[in-house]
Amino acid sequence: MDSRTLFPLDTSSLIALLTHQRALLEQLLFRHTELRLLIEAGEARFLGRTIDEIDSIESELGTLEMLRAMTTEEIAHGHDLPSDPSLAELIRVVPEPAREGLTVLADDLRELMRAIEGHRTHGSEIAGRRAQRLADASIRPASDGYRSDGSAGLTPGA
């Protein structure tokens, strides 16, 4: 039996997958925003929960990506496109109204990915600065040049 009979995939399936992907990317953007704000606020106790939620969303996105690849392969086969076509290649060959829907989704997905990448970069910079401040604060000279035990030198966390 042909895989197209077992898995009847078409542009409406792709639109549904990409719509779900867009929703997950919006959740991911929210979680990255939340992570950045937690880091800025110094609320380390909540970082683990947010990072776990990010991991969960990214795992689900991985599953969706696999389904998207199968769906685009099916559509490509039906339109005599090469294997693993880009979304832009699919948009050029599918009929309206699917073309318009895919175009809007492609634009939304690109915008979300740029925003997420910006948050990841900014979050890494903030985390680095925060870690440096913590390191700087953990060893610094005592205000009078002596430790609490009376010896001269640096005082951890003073």
In this structure, are residues 76 and 85 in contact, taking their beta carbons and an 8 Å threshold?
yes
pLDDT at 45 exceeding the cut of 80:
yes
Start-to-end CA distance of the chain, whole Å, equals 74
Would 145 be classed as within a structural domain? no
Would 69 be classed as within a structural domain? yes
What is the rounded distance in angstroms from the CA atom of residue 51 to the CA atom of residue 68?
A: 25
Report the domain count for the chain: 1
Q: How confident is the model over 128-156, as a mean pLDDT? A: 54
Two tokens, residue 79:
């339109």
**What pLDDT is recorded for position 87?**
87
Q: Could you list the residue range(s) of the whole structural domain that residue 133 is in? A: 3-140
Residues 6+ apart with CB under 8 A from 63: none
Would 146 be classed as within a structural domain? no
What is the rounded distance in angstroms from the CA atom of residue 97 to the CA atom of residue 101?
A: 6
Instruction: Please state the pTM of the whole predicted model.
Output: 0.71
**How high does pLDDT run on average in the chain?**
79
Tell me if residue 141 falls in helix, strand or coil. Answer: strand
Would 17 be classed as within a structural domain? yes
Would 151 be classed as within a structural domain? no
pLDDT at 4 exceeding the cut of 50:
no
Residue 42, φ and ψ in degrees, nearest 5: 75, 25
Would 102 be classed as within a structural domain? yes
Would 121 be classed as within a structural domain? yes
**Angle at which helices 47-78 and 11-41 cross, to 10°:** 160
Would 152 be classed as within a structural domain? no
**What pLDDT is recorded for position 138?**
55
**What pLDDT is recorded for position 106?**
93
pLDDT at 157 exceeding the cut of 50:
no
User: Tell me: the pLDDT tens digits for 51-96?
Assistant: 999 999 999 999 999 999 998 888 888 888 888 888 888 888 888 8
Tell me if residue 145 falls in helix, strand or coil. Answer: strand
CATH of the domain at 17: 1.20.58
pLDDT at 99 exceeding the cut of 50:
yes
What is the rounded distance in angstroms from the CA atom of residue 148 to the CA atom of residue 141?
A: 11
User: Tell me: the pLDDT tens digits for 106-121?
Assistant: 999 999 999 999 887 7
**What pLDDT is recorded for position 123?**
61
Up-side HSE of residue 52: CA atoms within 13 Å toward CB?
Answer: 5
